[in-house]
Each structure stands twice: as structure tokens, then as C-alpha cells.
Amino acid sequence: MQVTVTVNGEEHTSEVEPRLLLVHYLRDHLGLTGTHWGCDTTNCGACTVWLDGVPVKSCTVLTAMASGHEVRTVESLEVDGVLDPVQQGFMQEHGLQCGFCTPGMMMTARRLLDDVPDPSEQQIREGISGNLCRCTGYENIVRAVRWAAEHPATEEAPA
Amino acid sequence: MQTPASFEYERATSVEQALALLEQHGPEACLVAGGHSLLPMMKLRLATPEVLIDINELPDLGYVRVEGSEIAIGALARHVDLLASPVLREHYRIFEEAEHVIADPIVRNRGTVGGSLCQADPSEDLSAVCAALGARLVIQSAAGRRTVEARGFHVGPYETLVGPAEMLVEVRLPIRPGAGSAYQKVERRAGDYAIAAAGAFVVLEGGMVADVGVGIAAVGAPQFTAPGAEDYLRGKEPSEPHLAEAARLAAEATAPAVDQRGTVEYKRHLAGELVRRALRSAAARAAGQEG
Amino acid sequence: MTVTDTENTGSTEPQLSPAGNPMGFGRMLRKEDVRFLRGHGHYVDDVQLPGMLYSAILRSPYAHARIVSIDTSAAEAHPKVRAVITGATLEGLNLAWMPTLSHDVQAVLATDKVRFQGQEVAFVVADDRYAARDALELIDVEYEPLPPVMDATKALDPDAAVIRTDIEGKSDNHIFDWEAGDAAACDEAFAGAEVVVEQDMLYPRVHPAPIETCGTVASMDPITGKLTVWSTNQAPHAHRTLYAIVAGIPEHKIQIISPDIGGGFGNKVGIYPGYVLAVVGSIVTGKPVKWVEDRSENLMATAFARDYHMKGRIAATKDGKILAVQVDVLADHGAFNGTAQPTKFPAGFFHIFTGSYDLQAAHCKVTGVYTNKAPGGVAYACSFRITEAVYLVERMVDVLAYELGVDAGELRMKNLLRPEQFPYTSKTGWEYDSGDYPRALRKAMEIAGYDELRKEQAEKRERGELMGIGISFFTEGVGAGPRKHMDILGLGMADGSELRVHPTGKAQLRVSCQTQGQGHETTFAQIVAHELGIPPEDVEVIHGDTDNTPFGLGTYGSRSTPVSGAAAAVVSRRVRDKARIVAAAALECSPDDLEWTQGRWSVKGDPEQGRTIQEIAMLSHGSLELPEGVEGHLDASVVYNPPNLTYPFGAYICVVDVDADTGKVHVRRFIAVDDCGNRINPMIVEGQIHGGLAEGVGMALMQAIAFDEDGNCLGGSFLDYLLPTALECPSWETGATVTPSPHHPLGAKGVGESATVGSPPAVVNAVIDALKPYGVRHADMPLTPCQVWLAMQGRPARTDLALT
């Protein structure tokens, strides 16, 4: 079947099997390998992307369902060479080690901060509770999100 | 990664069209909304529908609103919509408390009320909430709409009254002025299915329980309810001994199955404890206290 | 929250490089983050090659069954299928079995029978991943079920089914008996002891479960005969040798590339059947073949960890002087003995069950048995079974405290080794290099506010509330070899390193170890900066590619810093020595007249006369007449053979609240004071510790892989095998003491596994402490709400079996 999906602002029209999972479309068809996957059961959150502005687990969304919709992935966070505050926070606070959960974690965190610009530690922990990390014990991820909250992008910076 | 078997995909743009597609493709067709129950089953190839009918695009089924003396929830309302709904927060705190512990925030962005109820997982929290509140569920087919009681919706594990060419379209809840409600759940870890969970509402008149509903998930309570506990409590003061006895009756009526979440004995004990806590909290709220 | 012992950070304030990085040790942001943050990491499933095919494995639904027949005709007829391989195909190639790392063999694809649920039975290569999975459903296997051996305690019963009928003459499920320590001395100590306490305990089977599963892309060039393998592996050079042995491909024609790895934790040490099958698939089809397992395959079939049934005994005086520890272990190794450990150590480094205490005697016996479960055994950040050892001794100390009615903190303080006893030889023969144990414990108790916590606990107990405080004190032993004692399949555990300084003074460091998130690209550049004065941003660390790095044994057992880190320091010093000769030639003086300060050789007493390392680099490549003994260019290589393990240690305190009516545990606080010697990059060290602490919460409270009596794996997905989320983890409170290793060139010790080793007993001790009013002395992990409730009823469950 034919699908048309807008990914990171760019429209893609492709011929795919109806059963193609969105995570595989992004990775195998569009080459956007920044989105990872780590389980089959919507537990780990490594595949988290935005669908129409909302974080979803792309291992459990069909590409067909995303047709006509907008998807945003980790590759869109950096704009014109400027890292998103969330990306900067993860670097500054050592919020990543192996880097595998990081893209999904950052997509979740970005949306969390859009909704709650000044989250408490508990709000951050709840917000990322659908994203598993095996390396960091979450401590520095929480600090990274706090860092981003404390260093929001200036208005002049590209959105 | 696990991948589903092949199927045909149809996207419905109206309820009528979705029902027509169900009619057309017969029992091997399946509706999909959030897909968070169905797609993992399909990846395991435990579910192999020949046709998947995507109902995410159906307009105007994502509402939560007051209609007269009832609250109406569209079947496509996402868990996150229920969690954030001011209407539900005002009338039934049980929703916020239950939704807060359903899966995780990202799954809640996608999963729907209708999908959760129709999946009919014995651990499903919203089934217990609807049972506790005495919800009525609106099922639509080409022939029209019918309304059934939530306490009768489940005909077995993973089986409901929704027929092959039918669709759950709405949940309706009676508004009970002054009702207090609450939800209690114990899981092995955040996002895990409940070991046991219990929800309750209480309406007080003159310090006595005038109306009460109890819902229980994950421990084999018939229709997710505990009518014996409710009957016992009606007309009584919500005192600790009475709550304890209601909890005991509720626990007695459960039929838990052993699994790695717990033994039969523990689950029954836990169900009782959570019923007690939910009732205690609901009664306190009904009395205007924070509970 | 972080509290650092400022008097003892082990490093002085470093100078800053032009990019603002420390010119040596200190907090430095990670170089690798630049790609990871942009989604530009390159993991194995990101590898795309022209013409690449995809594969999938058909696995056994049974734990123990005879294979009657396999019909692959329907799968072969699938239009997108390129090859279907069965055990029979492999038998023809003499590849049906492969050696394990413990001198056993393991089936690549089952031929005679299947021996665990999830075992590999057939392999399909197809045009795409979906078609490969579809074809699995078309393979028809007829099984004749056999009785499975699922309870390790019954594996040696006379009527137990014999699992390894492939081994000629095998008539039981026994693998090995092994012992350490002095049995007679131990018996004597126990016979004379005033107090003897016994406790059975299980360290359940767990799985490392990195978020990235295991996978590989194998590409055999049919023209040149060169095999290139991209795979998730922590030890690329060892893998290359093993492929050569297993597949008979000449080793110089094999290139192993470890791309970015999404967490390893020991899961990615061994070679799995899927890796070998992808190679076979590539040879058969002439195309590159990708195989990446799904999560269930990862949990059900790749290296598990632990599964130690331990019977501990501790002897002491009435006033709490610990005299001896004795332990009998029944070790469940699964269907094949595939533990990844040095050859002479069938129970890994379990000897370190003597812990951190001054004992008179110690003895242990370990019996390994086969069961119908997945193979593995040493994995999951365990430092070759020191995890089990520390759990045993730290639980036993708490059990003793319970029986004596004394405070567990005081009991430990009374028995810890004293600083003046180092270097200390343990009763099982291990030489602990350095330590100040009481200082670390005191510090942890200070951060925790231990006395206040005990007061709070007493008040809560009065009210019937359950609060627990758990302590563990661990001694780790990491950084294997030396090579004469330690080898993997005959490969001595020493690591090479090569350093090239280019003419403009920029450098490339080549190392044999393989990061899985530990930040080697940053830390190793800091080591070169520290030794040579080349800014860390000017040092590129090259790793994970056997064609481009020197031989070495890889990253596991916390050995990167102790071994490869030492190699990086030594190779830098060799370059520095060479630079001295070049500088002397340029300055027309004797090398002996020069002194090294901050990246520069200068004339003693005349510091103006000197050459920076960058200047020397250009001179080394230029037209300067070089003296005898220097050939030009500025490079060096080394093989570092560690003289001993390094012995990091730490004191951990966990505070929990337990809901008495539901059994639910809430970890309120966790205080961790770690001593890993000098810290090269404290930020990275702390990150390593954080991760390990979360593992402790996971293992103590939720992670376990149990089996039902029919042989079904009850932890085969993330729905059933629970990993902690951010909500179960408290905000870690860390502190540090620094006792440098006397034998490591940088005074450093490994740290990657310390917290995973040390934290589980702290959490368990805390929960059991909370349950003291109920008379609970022990309950096995994981302490789920149900297990806690059962323990309060006086009958905790066996957590290796299905609940009944």
C-alpha cells in the first residue's frame, strides 16, 4: 500500500506492506537509525518518536496508521547546528552511557518540558517511567532534564 | 524484532464505514485503535486478523463530556485524555488515580478507553473502574445502538458482548453528586499489570453509606465487582470495622489464579486490603475530607 | 547528591586544554556523546550492506524433547527465502556443535534433541526481516517430549533425566566439583566457635538484558575469502580467534567489528549460535546476512547469570568476632556449560566470599549441574561471580547480627580488615592490593546519618511501621589477568595498546577493549593527555575493529581501566621516553639532562630550553638527525600483563519502607561510598556506579527468571522480566574515598561492576531488617510484594520455581 508520512518536516511517499511497523519504516526505509528498538512489548521506550506532537512507541504503531500524519524523531532535535537544550542537558549531566535508550528518552523529555517547563524530580521520574535505561540508574537523566529546564532555548534560537 | 503476519489494512473514516467494513470482512477482521494490546499479540502471532480496520481517524469519538446527569466518554478517548479531564477530576477521582498507574505515560498517549475495555484483559484497570461506577456501555452496529451494563459486559477472559460486526462507541457514567471515589493498585513495578487493584465510590447521606460501588481487577472477581461487599455496606456507617468486613466479603468473592505476581492466598489478601483502602479513601472524600 | 572526600580525591586540579578539557584527570564531557545525542550512533542493526539478507531462528517450544523430524520444504518454497539451515545441514559441515568457553560444547542447531526452551532448531535466510519470520511458521518440527530437569536441587537425583546424552558415557547431570580454602582449618574453627549460624540462600537466575539485544551482520567475500563480522560483542579479538577455531576460517581472513554497543553487562561476551549461523548463511548465500534477536530470544537463550543455590555457615565468638565462613554451592549451569570465565576458575572468582573481613579460616565447595535451561552463568556485571560471593557473605553477616542481636553496622566495623593489614592475603589465597575499609564504612554511615536512621526506625517500630536499614560492604577483584593465572580458552588475559603521535602532535590510541557505554573514547584520551600533555580532544581512541587494533581480551569483569587503561598509560610513557631522546637530539644535550614537565621535555635548570611534545612529534617525522636507538616517528606499542587484580571496595547503605499490609517495598535512600583508587574521570565513574545501584534495586526487588515444572521460561519478555524504571530508583547519594592501587600505573582500580556487585545485599538486608518485627531472618530475591508478604507469614517462596 502507499503511505505518505511527514517525517521531521519532510513528506515521504512510499510503497509498504500494511504490517510494516513505524520503527522499521523510519530505520529501514528512511535510514533514520537514530530511533532504536529494544523490546517487542511496548515496555522499553527505545523506539519513542512523536506522532502529531505526542510521544508514542513506534514499535507498536503501523506505518499505515501514521500515513497522513507527522512524525518527529531524534534527528530533528538539532536545528541549524544548535542542539536542543535536552541534548545539551544530556551531555552536560552525563545523562547517557551506551546511548541506546537516549533518543527515545530525549523525545520523551522534550515533550515533558514542553508540557511542564519546570518539572519536579518526581514529575521527571514519572514522565520517563515508560523509557528504560540500563546504564545510568536514571539519576543523571533526571539531572539532564532539569538542566534543560533551567536552560531553555532563547526565543531567538530556531524553534 | 517480532513482526506481525500479513494482513489487509483499511482505514475507516466514520463509525458507519467501520461497521460496514466489519460486516464486509467478517470475523477475521479486527478493529484497531491505539493498538497497544492487539499489535503485541499480532507480533507474537497469537492474533492473526486478516483485515485490520484502523479507527483512529473516526471523528468526534475522543470526547469526555457531561450530558445531562451523565458523563459520556467516547471510545477513542486516550488514557491521557482521561487522566487530564477536568470533568472526570471533578466527579470521579477514581479515574485520575487509575489512569495514573495504567502502563506508562507514552502508552497512555496512544491507548484508548474502547480498546482497553474490549481487550477485556482480566487485569484491566478501566474494567474495574467501570464496574465500580456502574457504567453503561454503548455498542453500535448497522442495526443501531444498544446499551449494556459494564457489569455484564465481560463474557469471559478476553471476551465481551461486542459482536463481530459491532463496535463499542461510548462509556456512560451516572453523575452522583457528592460521591467520593478512589483507586488502589499494587504492582511489582510501575507499569506492570496489577497484582490486584480495587476501585470504589461512596455516596454518604447523614453519615451513612447511601450508595457504593466496588470494582476489582486482576483477581478473578466476577464481572470485576464485589456486590456482596456493596450490599453489606449500604446503610452502614463507613467505620473501620464495617470497611474491614466489606473488604473481607470482597476478597472472599475473588477467584485469583496463581502466577509470578502472587499466590492465590496473597492475591486474595491483597484484594481485600485494597478494597478496604479504596473504600476508606472514597468515604473520606465523600465526607469532604481528603482521603 | 555527591559527597567527595576532598582531601583524598587522588588528583590535583588539572590544567585546561584549549577546548577547556582537563589536561589529564578530571571531569570531562564525553566525546562519544556528540554522535549519540544526534541519533548518529552506529549500532549493529544500523549496519546496512548492499544485497544484505535477513535471518531468523526457529526455537524449541520444549525444554527437553527428542527431535523426531524437521520438514523445511514449505519454508524453502517461500518466494523470499534464500536458505533454510537445520542441524542436519550443519552436521554435514561439522558445525552442528561449537566449543563453549568452559571446555564443553554447545549445539549451534539442535540435532538429536532440544535441551532448553528457546534453543535454536532451524535458521532461515530471506530477503527481508518480515519474510524470514513468516518462513519460521512454515517449518514443521515433530518433537517427542522428554521429562525436563528444572529444579537444580533434583538434577543429581538418580532418577533425573540425563540431559547430555551427547557426551559419551554420561549417566548423570553432574558437571564439576570444585573447592577452595582450607576445609580442615575451617572445620576446626567451626568446632571451637561459640556461635555458628547457617542459612540457605539462592541468588536467582537473572539476565543482563541490555536495551539493545544481541545481533550480527556476517559478510563472507566469496572472492577474497575474507569474513567481516559486525557484532554486538565485548571482546572482538577473542571472538576472532573463536571464529577461526569454530568455523575453520583462517584468522588473518577474519575482521571483527564491534560497532557502538547498546549496553553489554556481560551479555555480549560469548559467541551465540545466531552469530555462527549468520556466518554460515553468508557462506551459503554469498550475501551479507544480518541476524538480530528479538527480546524474548535475548532473555530466553543468551547468557543468563547467577543461579547459585548456596548453603552458608558463619562461625563467631559471642561478642561478635567472626572466625570463619564456609559455603556449599549448587551451581545451575543450564543445558551446556557455557560460562565465560578464566579456564582455571570453574566457579569464577567465587573465592572472594571471604569478603572484607579478617577471618581465621574459610572454605567453599561448588558443584555444577546441568538443567534444561539456557546456558551461560557468568554475565551481568558480576566480576566472575564475586556478585554471588559478596551476596553470600554480606547476607551471612546480617544473619549473624540477627542471631547475636547486635547492630549490623557495628558488627561489620568490628570485623573489617584494617588498613595496616594490606596487602592482605585472604584465606582463599587472593592478595588484596590496598584498602582502608573502616574509613569507607564510617563515611557511608556519616552521609546516611546512621544513628538518626536507627532512631527513626525504633520510633516507627513502636508505631508498627516497617522501615529497614541495610548495609553491605564489598571487596571486588577486577582486571584479569595476570596471564599466567588467567586465560579464556587458552588466550592469556593481557591487553595490547598502540599509540601513534602524528607529525602535528595529534594522536591516535589503539586499544583492544570494547566500550559498551563506559566512555573509553573520553577516558583513554584523558590518560594519554595525563601522560603526554596532548589535549584529550587531540587524541582519537580507536577500538572495536580487529583489523585496526592490537590484540587483547576485551571489556568485562571491569577490566578496561585496570588492564587496557594501564596499557594506555604505559604506551604513553614509552612514547614519552622516545620523545626524550628526540628532544635531546634537537637540544643537543644528553637525554639525562632533560626533565618532563607538563607536556614538555626541558633542560634541567634551564626550563626555557625545551621542546613540547607537539614540537617533538614534528621533529620525529622531520629531517632532524636522530641518534642511535631511535628510528624516527613517534609511536610505541605495549602488551600490558597485569601483575594482580585490583581490589576496589565500598560501603553501601540502603533505607527502605515496607507496607506491612501489601508487602510493597519502597527504596527511600541509597548511600554508596566507593573506593576505586584514583578516578580518571569522576563524572564517568559516578555514572558507572549509578547504573550498578539500579541493578541492585532490580535484582533485589523484581528481576528473576524462574521456570515452571514443564520447563517454560517465566521471564521471557519485558512484561515478565521486570527492569527498574526511574520510579523505583531513589536519587543515589554517592561518596568517595581514594586508596590508590599500588601496582596499577595510574593508581586506578576498575569500577564498572562494583555497584552491581555491592548493591543487591544492601537492598535485601534493608528489607529483611524492616521485617525484623516479624521474625524474618532471610528470604530470597526478588523481594516482590508477594515474596515479602510470604516471608512475613514465615514461608518465603523458592524464587527459581513457579509460584504455587
Q: What is the mean pLDDT of residues C192-201?
A: 98
- Of A42, A62, A126, which has the smallest distance from its Cβ to B105's Cβ? A126
pLDDT at C379: 86
Q: Mutate which of B6, B21, B106, B116 to test chain A, going by most A C-beta atoms within 10 A?
A: B106
SS (HEC) of C223-249? CCCCEEEEECCCCHHHHHHHHHHHHCC
* A152 and A85 Cβ atoms separated by less than 8 Å: yes
pLDDT at C12: 53
The question of ipTM being above 0.90 is answered as: yes
Tell me if B291 is assigned to some domain.
no
pLDDT in tens, B155-166: 988 999 999 999
pLDDT in tens, C26-54: 999 999 999 999 999 999 999 999 999 99
Q: What is the mean pLDDT of residues C491-495?
A: 95
Any idea what the Cα angle at residue C233 is, between residues C693 and C288, rounded to 5°?
145
Query: Do the Cβ atoms of B54 and A64 come within 8 Å?
Result: yes
User: Strands (DSSP E) along C333-422, which ranges?
Assistant: 361-369, 376-377
Q: What is the mean pLDDT of residues A9-38?
A: 98
Q: Are residues B247 and B267 in the same domain?
A: yes
What's B191's domain CATH number? 3.30.390.50
pLDDT range class, residue C251, cuts 50, 70, 90: very high
Residue of B nearest to A18 (CA): B9
Q: Are residues A33 and A70 in the same domain?
A: yes
- Of B191, B260, B267, which has the smallest distance from its Cβ to C725's Cβ? B191
Domain C304-480+644-792 adopts which CATH fold?
A: Aldehyde Oxidoreductase; domain 4 (3.30.365)
Domain C44-146+213-260+268-301 adopts which CATH fold?
A: Aldehyde Oxidoreductase; domain 3 (3.90.1170)
pLDDT at C10: 44
Residue of B nearest to C784 (CA): B188
Q: Are residues B194 and B260 in the same domain?
A: yes
Domain C494-640 adopts which CATH fold?
A: Aldehyde Oxidoreductase; domain 4 (3.30.365)
What's B82's domain CATH number? 3.30.465.10
- Domain with A96 in it: 85-150
Tell me if B256 is assigned to some domain.
yes
Q: Are residues B92 and B139 in the same domain?
A: yes
Cβ neighbours of residue C53 closer than 8 Å, sequence gap 6 or more: C82, C125, C126, C127, C281, C285, C287, C288, C289, C290
pLDDT in tens, C734-778: 999 999 999 999 999 999 999 999 999 999 999 999 999 999 999
In Å, how far is A156's CA from the nearest CA of chain B?
A: 30
pLDDT at C5: 45
pLDDT range class, residue C2, cuts 50, 70, 90: very low
Cβ neighbours of residue C415 closer than 8 Å, sequence gap 6 or more: C320, C321, C322, C357, C358, C397
Q: Is B242 touching A (CB cutoff 8 A)?
A: no
Q: What is the mean pLDDT of residues C352-368?
A: 98
pLDDT in tens, C433-458: 999 999 999 999 999 999 999 999 99
Print burial letters for C746-771: b (CB count within 10 Å at least 16), e (below 16): bbbbbbbbbbbbbbbbbbbbbbbbbb
**Which chain C residues contact residue A17 at CB under 8 A?**
130
SS (HEC) of C536-552? HHHEEEECCECCCCCCC
pLDDT at C14: 63
* C638 and C571 Cβ atoms separated by less than 8 Å: yes
Tell me if A158 is assigned to some domain.
no
Q: Is it the case that residue C7 has pLDDT exceeding 70?
A: no
Q: What is the mean pLDDT of residues C589-600?
A: 96
Tell me, yes or no, if the pTM score tops 0.80.
Answer: yes
Axis-axis angle for helices A85-92, A102-115 (nearest 10): 120
pLDDT in tens, C49-101: 999 999 999 999 999 999 999 999 999 999 999 999 999 999 999 999 999 99
What's B20's domain CATH number? 3.30.43.10
Q: Residue A12: exposed, middle, or buried by beta-carbon count in 10 A (0-12, 13-18, 19+)?
A: middle
Q: What is the mean pLDDT of residues C559-586?
A: 97
Query: Do the Cβ atoms of B39 and A24 come within 8 Å?
Result: no
Q: What is the mean pLDDT of residues C605-629?
A: 94
pLDDT range class, residue A85, cuts 50, 70, 90: very high
pLDDT in tens, C216-231: 999 999 999 999 999 9
Rounded to 5 degrees, φ, ψ at B12 are -90, 145
Print burial letters for C64-81: b (CB count within 10 Å at least 16), e (below 16): bbebeebebeebeebebb
In Å, how far is A45's CA from the nearest CA of chain B?
A: 8
Radius of gyration of chain A (CA): 15
Q: Are residues B207 and B130 in the same domain?
A: no
C748 forms bridges with which residues in the sheet?
C677
**Which chain C residues contact residue B192 at CB under 8 A?**
719, 722
Q: Are residues B212 and B185 in the same domain?
A: yes
Tell me if B221 is assigned to some domain.
yes
Query: Do the Cβ atoms of B45 and C137 come within 8 Å?
Result: yes
**Which chain C residues contact residue B6 at CB under 8 A?**
134
Domain count, chain B: 3
Q: Please tell me the distance from the alpha carbon of residue C54 to that of residue C90, in angstroms, as a whole number.
A: 19
pLDDT range class, residue C559, cuts 50, 70, 90: very high
Residue of C nearest to A137 (CA): C691
Cα–Cα nearest to C374, from C718, C716, C720: C716
**Which chain B residues contact residue C719 at CB under 8 A?**
192-193
Q: Which residues of chain B have pLDDT under 70?
A: none
- Domain with B165 in it: 64-174
**Cell, residue C752:** 564498572
Q: Are residues B132 and B102 in the same domain?
A: yes
Cβ neighbours of residue C184 closer than 8 Å, sequence gap 6 or more: none
Q: Please tell me the distance from the alpha carbon of residue B40 to that of residue B121, in angstroms, as a whole number.
A: 14
Cβ neighbours of residue C12 closer than 8 Å, sequence gap 6 or more: none
Domain count, chain A: 2
- Of A132, A137, A139, which has the smallest distance from its Cβ to C211's Cβ? A132
Q: Are residues A129 and A71 in the same domain?
A: no
pLDDT range class, residue A121, cuts 50, 70, 90: very high
**Cell, residue C784:** 516482590
Cβ neighbours of residue C295 closer than 8 Å, sequence gap 6 or more: A38, A39, A40, A41, A44, C213, C717, C718
Report the phi/psi class of residue A42: left, alpha or beta, with left for phi > 0 and alpha for psi in -120 to 50: left
Q: Please tell me the distance from the alpha carbon of residue C445 to that of residue C473, in angstroms, as a whole number.
A: 12
Q: Are residues A71 and A92 in the same domain?
A: no
* C650 and C736 Cβ atoms separated by less than 8 Å: no
Residue of C nearest to B274 (CA): C662
pLDDT in tens, C312-326: 999 999 999 999 999
* C535 and C21 Cβ atoms separated by less than 8 Å: yes
pLDDT range class, residue C171, cuts 50, 70, 90: very high
Q: Are residues A62 and A104 in the same domain?
A: no
Query: Do the Cβ atoms of C726 and A141 come within 8 Å?
Result: yes
Choose one of A50, A75, A100: the last residue of a domain: A75
Q: Please tell me the distance from the alpha carbon of residue C312 to that of residue C633, in angstroms, as a whole number.
A: 59
Any idea which of B153-157, B215-219, C365-369, C581-585 has the lowest mean pLDDT? B153-157
Tell me if B230 is assigned to some domain.
yes
* C600 and C579 Cβ atoms separated by less than 8 Å: no
Tell me if A159 is assigned to some domain.
no
| Percent over 70 (pLDDT), chain C | 98
Choose one of A75, A95, A129: the last residue of a domain: A75
pLDDT range class, residue C489, cuts 50, 70, 90: confident
Query: Do the Cβ atoms of C661 and B258 come within 8 Å?
Result: no
Q: Are residues B201 and B133 in the same domain?
A: no
Q: Is C137 touching A (CB cutoff 8 A)?
A: no
| Cis before C782? omega within 30 | yes
pLDDT at C752: 96
Query: Do the Cβ atoms of A91 and C687 come within 8 Å?
Result: no
Q: Are residues A70 and A12 in the same domain?
A: yes
CA A23, chain centre distance (Å): 12
pLDDT range class, residue A107, cuts 50, 70, 90: very high
What's A91's domain CATH number? 1.10.150.120
pLDDT range class, residue A154, cuts 50, 70, 90: low
In Å, how far is C531's CA from the nearest CA of chain B?
A: 45
Residues of chain C with CATH 3.90.1170.50: 44-146+213-260+268-301
Q: Are strands C254-257 and C289-292 parallel, antiparallel or unpaired?
A: unpaired
Q: Is it the case that residue C6 has pLDDT exceeding 60?
A: no
pLDDT at C628: 81
Q: Are residues B151 and B252 in the same domain?
A: no
Choose one of A75, A109, A125: the last residue of a domain: A75
Q: Please tell me the distance from the alpha carbon of residue B250 to that of residue B214, in angstroms, as a whole number.
A: 8
In Å, how far is A50's CA from the nearest CA of chain C?
A: 15
Tell me if B214 is assigned to some domain.
yes
pLDDT range class, residue C13, cuts 50, 70, 90: low
- Contacting B with CB below 8 Å, chain A residues are 1, 17-19, 21, 23-24, 37, 40-43, 45, 48, 51, 54-57, 59-62, 64-65, 67, 108, 126-127, 129-131
pLDDT in tens, A31-55: 999 999 999 999 999 999 999 999 9
Tell me if B102 is assigned to some domain.
yes
Tell me if A66 is assigned to some domain.
yes
Helices (H), C450-519: 450-462
Q: Please tell me the distance from the alpha carbon of residue A15 to that of residue A12, in angstroms, as a whole number.
A: 10
pLDDT in tens, B216-236: 999 999 999 999 999 999 999
**Which chain C residues contact residue A38 at CB under 8 A?**
211-213, 262, 295
Chains in touch with C (≥3 Cβ pairs < 8 A): A, B
Query: Do the Cβ atoms of C727 and A129 come within 8 Å?
Result: yes
Tell me if B42 is assigned to some domain.
yes
Averaged pLDDT score across all residues of chain B: 97
Tell me if B3 is assigned to some domain.
no
| Cis before A85? omega within 30 | no
Q: Are residues B143 and B197 in the same domain?
A: no
Rounded to 5 degrees, φ, ψ at C206 are -130, 170
Three-state DSSP class for C526? helix
- Of C129, C260, C691, which has the smallest distance from its Cβ to A136's Cβ? C691
Residues of chain C with CATH 3.30.365.10: 304-480+644-792, 494-640
Q: Please tell me the distance from the alpha carbon of residue B96 to that of residue B268, in angstroms, as a whole number.
A: 25
Q: What is the mean pLDDT of residues C156-160?
A: 98
C652 forms bridges with which residues in the sheet?
C472, C672
Q: What is the mean pLDDT of residues C648-669?
A: 98
Q: Are strands B180-187 and C634-640 parallel, antiparallel or unpaired?
A: unpaired
